[in-house]
């Protein structure tokens, strides 16, 4: 029975992947991609990886889909380059690509199926150190204790991405949709606090059960996107420093923790014995804020205008909107 | 006592990688290529997670799980940056795909709509 479930799930995943990439209409393709992400999250649950499933459902499916859809809408609005059927690209004919890739697929399958069935792995090592790691969820222990150096660099990558985006373009705000969707505001009043609460819960529970800073950050990032859609927060975004502090606090706290642990224990990110849990939670809380802001601001696709930065026309438009937003 | 058939998942991972690579080579629209990279990434993640689930031990190996969570977050950052780069190209050249070297020089030689696009970009 479960074998059948796996089979159907994977066939649908592969078909959806094909469809999302080859549909003549890019919009439909992106919607297929979002559905694909949700099904892949189900596959992670089947593979006993609930932490990954949480991250995939929120980031891989929801936020990536939102990013691509909003970029698609902006590109269509801007482009006279109307969506047209794709033509075969470059000098390599598609049939040749197809044959070569079929060969690659068979090679990949052969190579992967031949690998050892029950290799050693790091499970026992990870579990043996778990009591001393300060948390009881092994994945969080790997992320924030055993291999916290990786996570430090990952938080730096997040900051780097938003620096890149901000230096390339100025944001185009999504249009004000409050008039056309009267139910949006009442919905947001319920959904936004719930999402923030859920993000904090996922962060907290991540020390012992599936969850953690990335999953919570993704939830809060989704809340951020909804907030932008509802037209909240424009004034806060135009503030010169507040947003930058929020974006960089994860990395700054992480670096401070690295320096602090080096002074206390003589080794980077080796937490003082008995207090590892506190250090991890403090780093995760700061990282969650940065992750949420980064993912939410990626959605804007550019740097929000700051006070005194925008053109006069834009400023007056935003100003009048701010006035009505205070209510 | 296999709880699932890992071969199915490995084959599906290989299929996702191949489909993504095909779309990356066969299509030229930026958004399709960005989607293709994401699908390839999902295929790689699926292979990693499947291997972590079939290691010896009471629970799946947590190290690949942590790597995949890192990978998911890094890939959305790369996607966001790539989308903005694509929009920059569109704003500068009016095109939504990379062109061959020859076409590019023709295109920039003519420059039919560059000034127009920039004007559009700045108007509210």
Q: Report the CATH number that the domain containing residue B60 is assigned in CATH.
A: 1.10.287.3510
Say if B62 falls within a structural domain: yes
**B120 vs B83, which has greater pLDDT?**
B83
The domain containing residue B70 runs over which residues? 6-119
Say if B57 falls within a structural domain: yes
Residue with tokens 């030689």: B109
Residues of A in contact with B115 (CB under 8 A): none
Q: How far is A86 from chain B (nearest CA, A)?
A: 7
Say if B124 falls within a structural domain: no
Say if B51 falls within a structural domain: yes
Nearest to B65 among A119, A124, A139 (CB): A139
The sign one gets for the Cα dihedral A30, A32, A34, A36 is negative
d(CA B21, CA B117): 32
Say if B79 falls within a structural domain: yes
Q: Lowest mean pLDDT: which of A238-252, A311-325, B22-36?
A: A311-325
Please name the residue of chain A whose CA is at the shortest distance from the CA of residue B24: A21
Q: Report yes or no: B92 at the A interface, CB cutoff 8 Å.
A: no
Q: Report yes or no: B40 at the A interface, CB cutoff 8 Å.
A: no
Q: Report yes or no: A261 at the B interface, CB cutoff 8 Å.
A: no
Q: Report yes or no: A245 at the B interface, CB cutoff 8 Å.
A: no
Say if B91 falls within a structural domain: yes
The pLDDT, as a whole number, for residue A323 is: 39
Q: How far is B103 from chain A (nearest CA, A)?
A: 11
Query: Is pTM, for the whole model, over 0.80?
Result: yes
The pLDDT, as a whole number, for residue A233 is: 72
The pLDDT, as a whole number, for residue A307 is: 52
Chain-chain contact of B53 with A101 (C-beta, under 8 angstroms): no
If one counts the domains in chain B, the total is 1
Q: Exposure string (b/e) for B101-114, b if CB count within 10 Å is 16 or more?
A: eeeeeebeeeeebe
Say if B1 falls within a structural domain: no
> CA angle at residue A98 from A93 to A104, to 5 degrees?
130
Residue with tokens 């992320």: A143
Radius of gyration of chain A (CA): 23
Write the Ramachandran bin of A153: left for phi over 0, alpha for psi from -120 to 50, otherwise beta: alpha
Q: How far is B104 from chain A (nearest CA, A)?
A: 13
Say if B23 falls within a structural domain: yes
Chain-chain contact of A142 with B8 (C-beta, under 8 angstroms): no
The pLDDT, as a whole number, for residue A115 is: 83
pLDDT tens digits for range A31-79: 999 999 999 999 999 999 999 999 999 888 889 999 999 999 888 888 7
> CA angle at residue A205 from A133 to A158, to 5 degrees?
80
Nearest to A161 among B8, B19, B80 (CB): B80
Question: What ipTM was estimated for this complex?
Answer: 0.86
């Amino acid at each position: 029975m479960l074998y059948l479930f796996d089979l159907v799930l994977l066939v649908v995943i592969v078909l959806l992947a094909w469809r999302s990439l080859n549909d003549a209409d890019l919009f439909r393709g992106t919607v297929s991609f979002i559905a694909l992400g949700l099904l892949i999250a189900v596959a992670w649950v089947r593979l006993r990886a609930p932490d990954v499933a949480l991250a995939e459902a929120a980031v891989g499916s929801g936020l990536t889909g939102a990013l691509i859809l909003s970029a698609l809408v902006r590109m269509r609005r801007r482009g006279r380059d109307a969506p047209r059927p794709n033509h075969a690209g470059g000098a390599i004919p598609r049939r040749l690509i197809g044959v070569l890739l079929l060969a690659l697929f068979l090679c990949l399958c052969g190579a992967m199926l031949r690998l050892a069935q029950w290799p050693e792995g790091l499970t026992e090592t990870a579990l043996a150190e778990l009591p001393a790691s300060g948390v009881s969820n092994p994945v969080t222990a790997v992320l924030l204790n055993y291999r916290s150096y990786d996570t430090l660099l990952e938080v730096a990558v997040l900051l780097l991405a938003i620096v890149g985006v901000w230096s390339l373009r100025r944001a185009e705000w999504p249009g004000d949709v409050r008039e056309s969707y009267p139910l949006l505001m009442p919905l947001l009043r319920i959904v936004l606090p719930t999402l923030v609460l859920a993000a904090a819960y996922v962060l907290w529970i991540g020390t012992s059960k599936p969850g953690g800073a990335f999953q919570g950050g993704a939830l809060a990032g989704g809340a951020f996107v909804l907030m932008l859609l509802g037209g909240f927060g424009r004034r806060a975004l135009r503030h010169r420093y507040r947003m930058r502090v929020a974006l960089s606090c994860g990395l700054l706290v992480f670096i401070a923790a690295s320096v602090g642990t080096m002074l206390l224990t003589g080794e980077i990110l080796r937490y003082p014995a008995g207090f590892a849990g506190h250090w991890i939670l403090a780093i995760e809380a700061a990282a969650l804020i940065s992750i949420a802001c980064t993912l939410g601001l990626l959605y804007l696709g550019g740097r929000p205008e700051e006070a005194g930065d925008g053109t006069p026309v834009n400023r007056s438009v935003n100003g009048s909107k701010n006035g009505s937003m205070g209510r | 006592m296999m709880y699932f058939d890992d071969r199915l998942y490995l084959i599906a991972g290989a299929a996702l990688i191949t489909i993504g690579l095909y779309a990356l080579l066969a299509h030229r629209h930026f958004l399709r290529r960005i989607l293709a990279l994401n699908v390839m990434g999902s295929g790689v993640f699926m292979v990693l997670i499947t291997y972590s689930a079939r290691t010896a031990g009471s629970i799946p190996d947590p190290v690949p799980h942590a790597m995949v969570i890192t990978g998911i977050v890094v890939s959305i950052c790369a996607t966001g940056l790539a989308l903005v780069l694509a929009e920059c190209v569109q704003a500068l050249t009016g095109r939504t795909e990379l062109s061959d070297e020859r076409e590019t020089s023709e295109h920039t030689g003519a420059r039919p709509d560059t000034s127009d696009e920039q004007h559009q970009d700045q108007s509210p």
